[in-house]
Chain A
Amino acid sequence: MTAGNGRRAGSPYAPHTDADEAAMLDAIGVDSAEALFDIPEEVRFDGEFGIDGMDEQELRQSLADLFARNEDLTEFLGRGHHAHYVPALVDDLSRRSEFLTSYTQYQPEIAQGFLQVLFEYQSMLVELTGLPVANCSMYDAATALAEAALLANRLRRGASGHRVLVPEHLHEGRLGVLENYLDGADMAIGEYPMDDGAVDIDALSDLVDDETVMVYAESPTVRGVIEERLTGIGDLAHENDALFCLGSDLVALALLEEPASVGADVVVGEADALGVGTAYGMGLGIFATREKFLRQVPGRLVGTSEDTADKRAFTLTLQTREQHIRKERATSNICTNQAWVALRTAMHMAWLGPDRLVNLATDAVTDARNLAKRLDNISGLQAPVHDRHHFREFVVHTDQPAPAITNDLAGRGFAVHALDDHYIQVCITDVNADAADELVAAFEEVA
């Protein structure tokens, strides 16, 4: 039964010996496993996929060769997917098989470890947002935003309209996902204009009306701008009985105004900046809200209870909101979520602690400011385009066509965003800050 390199001809992970298999077939009362398939002849598959199995060693080499085709560029890229240094502790502990190869905690008595990690994750989100309820993950910021809009709509079923207001500078992925989620609920999306990269509050004021169920704003925005009028935006929403949803990320929340204090009813955003690193856009959506919306929250919640020995214990709770019980009347269709990513994020946050997390956030402001200043000194570049405070990212105006510049920068080993004919966006964090001098030098050559 063995092929080359000790590999069985069948599945390398099916452990059956020939003797076991014979005994099992005998117990069932059939001659072969083939006889167990109850598939009509006309739909049986007797072809081949043409996939040659590989042993572990050759497969590893083949994938290493494939990934080596990705060019080795230093990325100054952001816009919704950010990389910070992930400590080795996170890799080591999150890959313990007891975490990695476990399933959803449907039997909480034997899954206390993971449940506690998720409870701690929720608690850290409560601390960062000031909102008392946080779920234990959404897929990403885009789906979290969409779920927030659906929550707002459920609360305002009687509203005369069903409109969500979003900034004109919204990441295309977030806007696209929002459109798809809102379509089924017959909800509309309205875009409000921005003024020099921040919310144009007068224009927004003209747009918010009694058909508005939610106003969404971000800080930092997709262009890295720190929004200065969050309280005003929240007031506008509340005066019109709409929810105020704030988009942010965990590092920014450590430094910027606490969402609860500016009137946010829901906080969504991307948590991938901690615990994940660059993963081609794989994310972790955060979702936190007020107590009174608890029964409307999408996704899983971990709570505490007591066991029969009167000891505190953790369990999934309020499952009557969820699809496996409520079916088409569930608050969302989410089942498999991003639990393990939340575990990594929680570990990363705990590892940083409050000091280092605040320092990381402070650096995100000063590093962006300093880099923008240096680029602004280069002839042919103006930075930052928006006269605002920035977090990690900023936009640069280029006299030369932007695509030509990004192309030339790629040739020199750097990746930045080309936004438009003459706009480039640059993102700096602790993982690329040490290459800032080289980036500036490269810009000097190509600008």
Chain B
Amino acid sequence: MNFDQARFSRDDVYEPLLSEKDSTTVEVDSEDVLPDDLTRDELTLPGLSEPQLARHYTRLSQMNYSVELGPYPLGSCTMKYNPSFTEDVAADPNAAVHPARSDRTVQGTLGLLHGLQEYLAEIGGMDAVTLHPPAGAAGEFTGILVAKAYHESRDDDRSEIIIPSSAHGTNFASAALAGYDVVELPSDDDGRVDMEALDAAISEETAALMLTNPNTLGLFERDIVDIAEMVHDAGGLLYYDGANLNALLGRARPGDMGFDIVHYNVHKTFATPHGGGGPGAGPVGVVDELAEFLPSPMVRETAAGYEQYEPESSIGKVHGFTGNWLVLIKAYAYIARLGDDGLADSSAKAVLNANYLASQVDLEVPYGPFHHEFAATAGDRDAADVAKRMLDYGVHPPTTKWPELVSQAMLTEPTEVEDKASLDDLAHAFNAAYADSDEALESAPSKTSARRIDQVSAARNPRLSWQALEQDE
């Protein structure tokens, strides 16, 4: 594939907005408004005209890769095509309401929230769902707080959360944020939970086991029923990290596997735009026994309409208001668009695509069988170099060097939105990059708007603002 990303000269208006030539300083003289000692003296900000700004941002957009330009097979990040219509739906002026409005005056908003609570409960096999957490990691934190409140309500003081070593880093950080000690669980030879190690790790201190299923290698934890029983027998709770739920849509439900708490990454599973790093939303579903601990408020339907209420033993607040509303609208619209058939078909196609791509790459792919993602190994080549070279073939590379279980891992997740031709392109990029010379790999990328960037110097000498750059010069 011929590919060249747009590049704009740094000598023209493309310079950062706060550069000396593009910024304006105004004196703040508001004596007739406020006493002088309560106001600042001056303010410097960009001083560009609207047409200049339009060009500035349009040029920047052309120097950015997105899923609408090509595949984005970042394993465990799940970047699918984001349908345009959900943006229009979320932009409905009637949806733009303030969170302090009385329930009676926002029946449409509450109706959508209630509907999404119900959809997610059904899809996850859960009994109750909160929509407050503004991201997956915030959902993890919320879920762990719910587990903590549950144990405390039973005067059961537990101090540990068990997490497989291959889990997302957020699991560890969220458990620690909630005040728990983390017990790391090794994997066994087939890439799944080591049952003996699990048996040894579980104790009266176990508050919960956090598990991703399929796990971060795309492998289904086949012993899940036994795992659930072991955790429950010890009085712990089983937590489902929903990062890979898209592989199971309509095929299996966390609730049916014995999970007590689930977080959903709606921006992954249901393709709401991720906007360069967020916003997402991380709703959390729980079984009946835990519903009373969910954050406040929840939405319920009564004869008089929808109303918000505080669950009996609510953990309180995990977001200043009620979460990332605009993302929740898009998630609702996406689910309603697909329906039962579409949801089940999307997991089927995601799994088909992952396995087809795995069969077409020349790199060794250990473990298996796979669900929605697979970890190929770059063997004696550097996975990061192979990835940089893939950029020159016009595709975004997979996640590299993670999980650590596979050396030089290239964790690849094509999702259901790629057709065969696109997967063949991706395989070609993989194979060609992998076969390229050391020189080609080390000098890659050469067709992107920047060449290989020196990460070490960025961290050693942090320049995090235009002001810092000016000081440096």
Report whether B60 and A139 are in contact in the complex, using a CB–CB cutoff of 8 Å. no
Instruction: Kindly state whether residue B377 has any CB partner on chain A within 8 Å.
Output: no
Counting CB contacts under 8 A, is A2 at the interface?
A: no
A-B residue pairs in contact (CB < 8 Å), sample of 20: A14-B417, A34-B348, A38-B371, A67-B108, A96-B57, A98-B66, A104-B274, A105-B276, A106-B399, A109-B448, A110-B5, A119-B16, A140-B321, A281-B321, A283-B321, A324-B170, A336-B280, A341-B275, A358-B26, A358-B30
Q: Does B454 have its Cβ within 8 Å of any Cβ on chain A?
A: yes
Interface contact B320-A77, CB-CB below 8 Å:
no
Residue of A nearest to B342 (CB): A11
* A317–B459 CB distance below 8 A: yes
Q: Decide yes or no: A37 and B351 within 8 Å by CB, A103-B79, A280-B97, A304-B469 being known contacts.
A: yes
Inter-chain pairs besides A282-B134, A304-B463, 11 sampled, C-beta below 8 Å? A27-B360, A39-B251, A60-B89, A63-B112, A68-B108, A69-B107, A71-B105, A120-B46, A140-B319, A279-B326, A353-B46
Please count the residue pairs between chain A and chain B whose beta carbons lie under 8 angstroms apart in the complex.
644
B449 within 8 A of partner (CB): yes
Distance A73 CA – B427 CA, assembled complex (angstroms): 55
Interface string of B107-132 (1 = CB under 8 A from A): 11101100000010011010000000
List of B residues within 8 angstroms of A294 by Cβ: 462
- Does the CB pair B352–A36 fall under 8 Å? yes
- Does A326 sit at the interface, judged by CB under 8 A? yes
Contact with A along B24-42 (1 / 0, CB 8 A): 1110101001100111100
Whether the Cβ atoms of B338 and A279 lie closer than 8 Å is no
> CA A349 – CA B388 in complex, angstroms?
34
A56-B85 contact in complex given A14-B345, A93-B54, A113-B62, C-beta closer than 8 Å: yes
Interface check B336, CB cutoff 8 A: yes
The answer to whether B95 touches A67 (Cβ under 8 A) is yes
Roughly how many angstroms separate A409 CA and B355 CA in the complex, as a whole number? 61
Given contacts A10-B349, A127-B44, A318-B459, whether A109 and B450 have CB atoms under 8 Å apart is yes
CB distance from B78 to the nearest CB of A (A): 9
Q: Does A79 contact B (CB under 8 A)?
A: yes
Q: Does B176 contact A (CB under 8 A)?
A: yes
B183 vs chain A, min Cβ distance (A) = 11
Task: State whether A309 touches B451 (Cβ < 8 A).
Answer: yes
Query: With A105-B276, A354-B25 in contact, is A307–B454 under 8 Å at CB?
Result: yes
Q: Which of A49, A122, A137 contacts B465 (CB 8 A)?
A: A122
Question: B2 interface residue, CB < 8 Å from A?
Answer: no
- Cα of A186 to Cα of B176 in the assembled complex, Å: 12
The yes or no answer to A24 lying at the interface (CB within 8 A) is yes
Closest 4 CB pairs of A and B: A281-B321, A340-B275, A53-B339, A10-B345
Residue picked from B54, B341, B371, B452, most chain A C-beta under 10 Å: B341
B24 near A354: Cβ-Cβ < 8 Å:
yes
A44, A102, A132, A139: the one contacting B319 at CB < 8 Å is A139
**A67 contacts B343, C-beta separation under 8 Å:** no
Which of these, B25, B278, B352, contacts A25 with CB under 8 Å?
B352
Interface segment among B201-209, B220-228, B230-238, B429-437: the answer is B220-228
Given contacts A24-B352, A120-B17, A337-B135, contact A99 B325 (CB under 8 A): no
Tell which of A24, A70, A186, A328 touches B172, judged by Cβ atoms closer than 8 Å.
A328
B98 engages A350 (CB within 8 Å): no
A contact residues around B89 at 8 Å (CB) = 59-60, 63
- Which of B45, B102, B134, B453 is the one whose CB lies under 8 Å from A357? B45
**Separation of A97 and B333 alpha carbons in the complex (Å):** 19
Q: Is A151 an interface residue (CB 8 A)?
A: no
Interface size range on B against A: 35 or more
Least CB distance from A283 to B in Å reads 6
A interface secondary structure, majority: mixed
Q: Verify B356–A67 contact, CB threshold 8 A.
A: no
B455 at the interface (CB under 8 A from A): yes
**A40 contacts B222, CB within 8 Å?**
yes
Pick from A205-213, A233-241, A251-259, A371-379 the stretch touching chain B.
A251-259
Residue A330 CB within 8 A of the other chain: yes
Contact B34 A226 (CB under 8 A): yes
Closest Cβ of chain A to B265, distance in Å, is 8
| Cβ of B325 to closest chain A Cβ, rounded Å | 4
Known contacts A181-B177, A333-B173; is A132 also within 8 Å of B467 by CB?
A: yes
- Please tell me if the beta carbons of B16 and A116 are within 8 angstroms of each other in the complex: yes
In the complex, what's the smallest C-beta–C-beta distance from B283 to chain A, in angstroms? Answer: 13
Residues of chain B lying within 8 A (CB to CB) of residue A66? 108, 111-112
Q: Quick check: is B244 within 8 A (CB to CB) of the other chain?
A: no
Is residue B464 contacting chain A, with contact meaning CB distance below 8 A? yes
Q: Are A111 and B65 interface neighbours, CB within 8 A? A: yes
Contact of B448 among A79, A110, A143, A173 (CB under 8 A): A110
Q: Name the residue in B58, B87, B105 with the highest tally of chain A Cβ atoms < 10 Å from its Cβ.
A: B105
A33 at the B interface (CB under 8 A) = yes
B21 at the interface (CB under 8 A from A): no
Smallest CB–CB gap between B314 and chain A, Å? 9
Residues of chain B within 8 A of A20, CB atoms compared: 419-420
Residue of B85, B175, B417 touching A60 (CB-CB under 8 A): B85
B45 touches A124 (CB 8 A): yes
Query: Which residues on the A side are within 8 Å of B177 (C-beta)?
Result: 181, 184, 332-333
- Report B342-391 residues with CB < 8 Å from chain A CB: 342-346, 348-349, 351-353, 355-356, 359-360, 369-371, 387-388, 391
